[in-house]
Amino acid sequence: MGKQCFSLEKLLLYLKPLGKTIIAIDAPAHGLSDGKEFNAPKYAEYLHVLIQKYQPKIIIGHSIGGAAIAYYLNKYQNTEIEK
């Protein structure tokens, strides 16, 4: 687990018993991810690729990750995301 995912480690302990698939990611230019540039729009592009691949119903973020999720939902208008 990279540095960014590590910050969600305590939350993952509560989510695991729900029996759902959990995908924890490092943001671009964070943790073990490549890159030198990081901002909410760039992170939203990264989320878009992952969301197309895994098709989650719920996405969780904190700090700029939460801002990137809001940006993603506004830009891509994904109606499949429930929460």
Per-residue model confidence as pLDDT tens for the chain (83 residues): 444 455 677 888 888 898 888 887 777 776 666 677 778 898 899 899 999 999 999 998 888 888 999 999 999 999 999 99
pLDDT for 3: 44
pLDDT of residue 30: 67
Length of the chain: 83
Q: What's the pTM value of the predicted model, to 2 decimals?
A: 0.76
User: What residues does each domain of the chain span?
Assistant: 3-76
* Closest by CA position to 75, among listed 42, 50, 44: 44
pLDDT given for residue 4 in this prediction = 45
